[in-house]
Amino acid sequence: MKTWRYYWRNGDRRHVMLMGYLFICPVVIYSLVTAFVPMAVSFYLSFTRYNMLTPAKWVGLANYRTILFADDLFRTALRNTAQYAVEVLPANIILSLGLAVLVNRAIRGITLFRTAYYLPVVTSIIAASMIWLWIYQPDAGLLNLLLSRFFHLPPIDWLGNPRLALHSLVLMRVWKGVGWNMVLYLAGLQGIPGYLYEAAKIDGASPAQQFRAITWPMLKPVTYYIIIMGLISTFQTFGEIYAMTRGGPLDSTTTVGFLIYQRAFSYFEMGEASAIAFILFVIIFGLSLLNVKYFQYRG
């Protein structure tokens, strides 16, 4: 990293730096008040026993010790969460990029299709969960009805089978999230200058070659964004778990996000919940840093 002096000593660089600070100043102040301070408080609470009804009591590292060494459920939750992220992220990226390429054309009625793909994003998670509960219902659900009518399959208990439940939730999450990433990719595609493709065509590049040589590299910053956002949101997954499975059956869908909620607001163990949150933080932060290495771009 360049030193402070590097910027300060040169009049031009100093000016740019000061302008930079001015531009980010609102965001920094806002984050300080609404994010850093709550985070610091919660970090402090992770070393306490705190039920929100009586003052917090310092317990040192006890919460971390319990969670890391004597909490089977935490380990299960971590495994489930990782599994969930590993399935959701790639599926989401591939499908959303495909959709974006598909709708990135000025043909009649394209707005309608784009809106259709975006529809799941705007359906509130609670309402979406209720509809999917209906879809997945083993004996009257829409999905089983279709499968039995067209493929004569016996009813499948999508959420009741411990080996299937998490994957069923993945399917719903991809359905819900893919439209949003499509929009991002679409915005990214629109930003690729058309002359690049013209030049490639003149050179005789096939569409596949054009994609590999132009589209994918040009979309790298967007993909980076989608991966980081995806990591952060999938690792914190809570809404659909809460609404659909409550972590079951047999803890097969207990995620870390759900565990944190449960400890905090069902058991009133805010200290332990905070400790889990910070362990999760370290994991997400670490994974994000790994990504920075792969997606380094010229600043």
| Positions in 187-216 near another protein (CB under 8 A) | 187-188, 190-196
Query: Which phi and psi angles does 49 have, rounded to 5°?
Result: -100, 120
Which residue, 87, 91, 291, 110, is CA-closest to 186?
A: 110
- Which of the ranges 57-65, 85-93, 206-214, 274-282 carries the binding residues for another protein, by CB under 8 A? 274-282
Subset of 127-146 contacting another protein (CB under 8 A): 127-135, 137-140, 142, 145
101 binds another protein (CB under 8 A): no
From the list 68, 83, 261, 279, which residue makes contact with another protein (rule: CB under 8 A)? 261
Query: Which phi and psi angles does 73 have, rounded to 5°?
Result: -65, -35
From the list 99, 166, 170, 171, which residue makes contact with another protein (rule: CB under 8 A)? 99
Query: Alpha-carbon distance 80 to 281, whole Å?
Result: 16
From the list 186, 215, 230, 234, which residue makes contact with another protein (rule: CB under 8 A)? 186
264 binds another protein (CB under 8 A): yes
By beta-carbon proximity to another protein, the closer residue of 107 and 204 is 107
170 binds another protein (CB under 8 A): no
From the list 68, 82, 102, 279, which residue makes contact with another protein (rule: CB under 8 A)? 102
Which residue, 293, 156, 178, 155, is CA-closest to 230?
A: 178
How far apart, in Å, are the Cα atoms of 71 and each of 68, 76, 255, 265?
Answer: 7, 9, 14, 18
81 binds another protein (CB under 8 A): no
147 binds another protein (CB under 8 A): no
Cα angle value 199/204/210 (rounded, 5°): 65
From the list 88, 89, 97, 244, which residue makes contact with another protein (rule: CB under 8 A)? 244
Which residue, 287, 183, 188, 181, is CA-closest to 232?
A: 287
By beta-carbon proximity to another protein, the closer residue of 68 and 243 is 243
Cα angle value 129/130/132 (rounded, 5°): 65
By beta-carbon proximity to another protein, the closer residue of 87 and 185 is 185
Q: Taking the CB of residue 234, how many other CB atoms lie within 10 A of it?
A: 23
